[in-house]
Amino acid sequence: MSVLKTTTYDPPRTDGFVFSPENKAKADAYRTRYPEDRQASAVLWLLYLAQEQNGGWLSSDAIEYVAAELDMAPIRVHEVATFYTMFNLRPVGRYLVQVCRTTSCWMRGSDAITKACLEEAGTGALGEVSEDGVFSVVEVECLGACCNAPMFQVNDRDYFEDLTPESARAVMAKLRAGEEVKPGSQSGRAGSEPQEGAKTLLHLAESPAPAGDGA
């Protein structure tokens, strides 16, 4: 007998949502980039602002507020919010740790990184918020730093690369303690150079670029 599988979509509601005066001004500025009859094109900008203001996630109220701002049917904005994985439809921790699980990172041990991150966060499962509200850990697809696999991204910006379970834990421990932590390779290599340092084009370091070379 086959079992009918159903999916549910039900982002939590909050006590309403309105842009802060500052974000309202930003939203209005974004909207001027689009013609009067193409205001819906600003939807990603406004959703992003709403998510930022709402502590890193989009409630149904926030999504529907954006729909009203752009004179769009709420379902159309819900469709956009559910399509892009960068929009979070549940509360997240202050630091959202996004562990890449795609091929290069997986081959270089992303499963162990995820496990270490969950343990350090103190959460039982992906997507849960830690009791102190500091972390949630999720797995994501390739973040474009395959040369420095395995890696994770924290919030919107910082990449931490060349991770081991130990260095992943160390990064998170520093974040939790409010200490400064340097993004980039955690193994000490420069960019994506070989671990032992540069091996090609070594002469460039000794010979200055020819005059007039504006490249």
Task: Give the footprint of ligand FES on this chain (CB under 6 A).
Answer: 100, 102-105, 142-146, 149, 151
Considering only CA atoms, give the Rg of the chain.
21
CB-based contact 52:60 (threshold 8 Å): no
- The residue (of 44 and 143) whose beta carbon lies closer to ligand FES is 143
Q: How many CA atoms, within 13 angstroms, populate the side-chain half-sphere of residue 54? A: 29
| Least distance (Å) between residue 96 CB and ligand FES | 16
CB-based contact 42:34 (threshold 8 Å): yes
| Least distance (Å) between residue 159 CB and ligand FES | 9
| Least distance (Å) between residue 108 CB and ligand FES | 8
Q: How many helices (H) and strands (E) does the chain have?
A: 7, 5
* Angstrom distances, CA of residue 156 to CA of 27, 86, 89, 151: 19, 9, 16, 14
| Least distance (Å) between residue 146 CB and ligand FES | 3
- The residue (of 105 and 121) whose beta carbon lies closer to ligand FES is 105
- The residue (of 39 and 102) whose beta carbon lies closer to ligand FES is 102
Identify each DSSP E strand in 14-142 by its residue range.
Answer: 95-100, 135-140
- The residue (of 105 and 137) whose beta carbon lies closer to ligand FES is 105
- The residue (of 104 and 164) whose beta carbon lies closer to ligand FES is 104
Rounded distance, CA 45 to CA 105, Å?
A: 30
| Least distance (Å) between residue 2 CB and ligand FES | 35
| Least distance (Å) between residue 150 CB and ligand FES | 7
Q: Estimate the crossing angle of helix 60-69 against helix 74-83, to 10 degrees.
A: 120
Rounded distance, CA 109 to CA 123, Å?
A: 20
Structure tokens at 182: 């340097």
- The residue (of 65 and 152) whose beta carbon lies closer to ligand FES is 152
